[in-house]
Amino acid sequence: MDWFGRARISFTHAAEPVSLTKKDGTRTNLLEVCKKATPPCQLNPLLFNGHLQTMWTAVKEEGPRIYYRRRIFDADHKTYTGSFAVDFVVDQHPDTDETLPPRTAYFSEDAFSKIGSDDDKPMLIVLHGLSGGSYEIYLRHAIAPLVLNGGGWEACVVNARGCANSEVTSGVLFNARATWDVRQVVKWAKQTFPNRPLFALGFSLGGNILTNYVGEEGEHCLLKGAISVGNPFDLELSNKALQRSLIGHHVYQRVMGGNMKRLISLHKEAVLKHTELDFDRIQNVTYLYEFDREVQTVSWGYPTENAYYRDASSSDAVLAIRIPFLAIAAEDDPIAVREALPYGEFQHNPYTVLCTTSLGGHLSWFEIGGGRWHARPITNFLQAMVKEIDLSAVKPPPSSLNGTASGVEVKTKFDPVRRKLQILSD
């Protein structure tokens, strides 16, 4: 039982977590780093369940004042065309742009041309949640200790297409498996800042995208570590859980569906120009799953929204991760529900650790005084990886961790990215 907002903390992990070498030559492992980075979880006792924690996010607070400069990237993929916006954390500036979120202005061409550096500052690449952006308060709480007051980090936020006042310039919108933009940014960052250790942080839908990305990259991932927070993991299961609950169906599904519908409305001209979507039908939807039926199935060719959810889910991708990976989740999260957490997959992969708290809601974790608990394990884990761990010694395994099954006549191998069991020829 949780008393006065004191949440229980649990860790799910492999029997032998991946070994890590410290800079002083001693040995530790991923689980010990995660445990050491995770402080006690003392939340506001008045927000004593996941619904109260989640709904308290509607109470507006200013949050940490993070300043950004925006750069529009043209997609470098021949299929996933168009553009997307990346907001880079910068020093405080007086510039204002009414077309952008608060404290955000565009880079000048000259300033951006000089952004490259051979410094070895750690850099964090961040993905926000559904319909959000770099301005989100939960995101700013998490990165503020790293980038403000001598935190020592550089950071940028990859905004989903059309989000955070960015334009839609092609028929390629974002979805829960849209890993192409973050992949391009990671490659760009590695080329532009060759000596910087790169890390990534994803929230909610962004956490799902990040997990898919890291799984797709496998042993070739350019990141030194990643954190996923409030990830729904199994989108079909999470969707069904929301629909069978009165508050889940008529509050959360309705709010999320309304947010996405308004996002499409903001880009009506571009949607009509670049896509085959039925704008009027989209404006008649109420719930998120209805939006996905009208937008995601049409945009990507899925026969049903459930087919989209199954394909875009990141639960299986956990098996393919080959870099230190921490997931943080609240067991009372009413949106990224507990039953969708892939406990078995985390137990199977020594490169991953799942940290769960008994309280916290969805991307909430409100403490007394307005702080957000999730910022502390995020900051502690990332700082520990950079300051204590010899990142050059973290190597992927020589062979797959997925395992194979054998029988009299056939051998099989499960591909966690394609989510299919392959029959291997002799």
User: Would you call 333 a catalytic residue per the annotation?
Assistant: yes
Cβ atoms within 10 Å of 189's Cβ, excluding its own:
20
82 conformational bin, left if phi > 0, alpha if psi -120 to 50, beta if neither:
left
b/e 41-62 (16+ beta carbons within 10 angstroms → b): bebbeebbebbbbbbbbeeeee
User: Would you call 108 a catalytic residue per the annotation?
Assistant: no
Cβ atoms within 10 Å of 335's Cβ, excluding its own:
25
Residue with tokens 């009414």: 98
Catalytic residue among 333, 348, 358, 364: 333
Residue with tokens 């529900």: 337
Per DSSP, the three-state class of 190 is helix
Query: What residues contact 23, with CB distance under 8 A and at least 6 apart?
Result: 387, 388, 389, 390
Q: Which residues pair with 330 in a beta bridge?
A: 357
Residue ranges of the alpha helices (H) in 20-73?
30-37, 50-55
Structure tokens at 99: 């077309």
DSSP-derived secondary structure for 283-337: HT--SHHHHHHHTHHHHH--SSHHHHHHHH--TGGGGG--S-EEEEEETT-SSS-
What distance lies between CA 241 and its chain's CA centroid? 21
Distances from the Cα of 114 to the Cα of 107, 119, 156, 190, 193, angstroms: 11, 13, 16, 15, 12
Catalytic residue among 128, 267, 348, 362: 362
Catalytic residue among 134, 204, 228, 358: 204
* Orientation of helix 375-387 relative to helix 30-37, angle to 10°: 130
Q: Give rounded-to-5 percent helix, strand, coil for the chain.
A: 35, 20, 45
Contact, 342 vs 108, CB < 8 A? no
Backbone angles phi and psi of 99, in degrees to 5: -85, -5
User: Would you call 204 a catalytic residue per the annotation?
Assistant: yes
Residue with tokens 């943080």: 328
DSSP-derived secondary structure for 227-261: EEES----HHHHHHHHHTSHHIIIIIIHHHHHHHH
Residues taking part in catalysis:
204, 333, 362
